[in-house]
């Protein structure tokens, strides 16, 4: 009996696990600037990608990231591209688009450079379970942006100059987050009788009623 009860609960458990699916961020690949994790969003006018994983079918609908810009510059859009993972490297491009960015808040000031937090809304890119790469590109003269990587003392990043120079990792926070909604399949509706079946049952019912109506009543027969 306990085994039957456990089996009955299995679909609910699986549905709960899928509903709590989330995107797992990994360290970036080796970038032009140096070691693993030192990936700028834009450097020498190139896309630089970061790898991440999706545990179940997921709708990727937004990004949040930090960027250091000159105080007088603010680009209104950024290009985003999404690729599949080909044995650890950037593979086939799956999605690409140019999106407006929104300023969330100023998170740091370094002389004439300002670190800002931005967000953008994607076009609801549907991803199946697996590994992917995502890349951003903006005008390198305006933006010096950096992917997040996780260190022993939390989130760390490098200050990247527009000239391509950079410092050693500091405790300054650079981050990238994804907005996503796990796709949970709707419950399978109970099978409804087809119209043909209902029609057949109706015809059969009419036939039975007709036979009952036409059957002579016992009192109609005489004994003599």
For 76-92, how does the pLDDT look when each residue is reduced to its tens digit (9 = 90+)? 787 787 888 777 666 78
Report pLDDT for 184: 38
Tell me if 204 is assigned to some domain: no
Tell me if 187 is assigned to some domain: no
Tell me if 153 is assigned to some domain: yes
Q: Assign 212 to helix, strand or coil.
A: helix
For residues 157 and 220, what is the distance between their CA atoms, to the nearest angstrom? 102
For 47-69, how does the pLDDT look when each residue is reduced to its tens digit (9 = 90+)? 445 666 777 787 887 776 666 66
Tell me if 188 is assigned to some domain: no
Q: Name the nearest CA neighbour of 58 among 92, 24, 11, 102.
A: 24
Q: What is the pTM of this model?
A: 0.48
Tell me if 59 is assigned to some domain: yes
Give the domain extent around 73.
21-182
Range with lowest mean pLDDT among 43-47, 164-168, 193-197: 164-168
């Amino acid at each position: 009996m306990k085994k039957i009860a456990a089996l009955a609960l299995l679909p609910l458990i699986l549905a709960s696990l899928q509903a709590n699916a989330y995107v797992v961020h990994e360290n970036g690949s080796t970038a032009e600037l140096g070691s693993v994790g030192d990936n700028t969003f834009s450097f020498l006018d190139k896309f630089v990608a970061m790898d991440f994983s999706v545990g179940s079918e997921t709708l990727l609908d937004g990004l949040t990231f930090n960027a250091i810009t000159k105080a007088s510059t603010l680009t209104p859009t950024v290009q985003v591209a999404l690729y599949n993972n080909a044995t650890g490297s950037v593979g086939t491009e799956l999605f690409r688009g140019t999106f407006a960015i929104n300023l969330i808040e100023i998170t740091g000031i370094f002389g004439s450079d300002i670190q800002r937090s931005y967000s953008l809304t994607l076009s609801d890119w549907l991803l199946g379970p697996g590994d992917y790469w995502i890349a951003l590109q903006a005008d390198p003269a305006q933006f010096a942006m950096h992917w997040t990587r996780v260190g022993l003392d939390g989130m760390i990043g490098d200050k990247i100059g527009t000239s391509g120079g950079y410092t050693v990792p500091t405790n300054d926070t650079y981050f990238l987050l994804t907005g996503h909604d796990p796709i949970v399949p709707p419950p399978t509706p109970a099978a409804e009788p087809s119209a043909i079946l209902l029609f057949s049952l109706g015809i059969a019912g009419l036939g039975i009623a007709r036979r009952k109506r036409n059957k002579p009543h016992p009192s109609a027969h005489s004994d003599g």
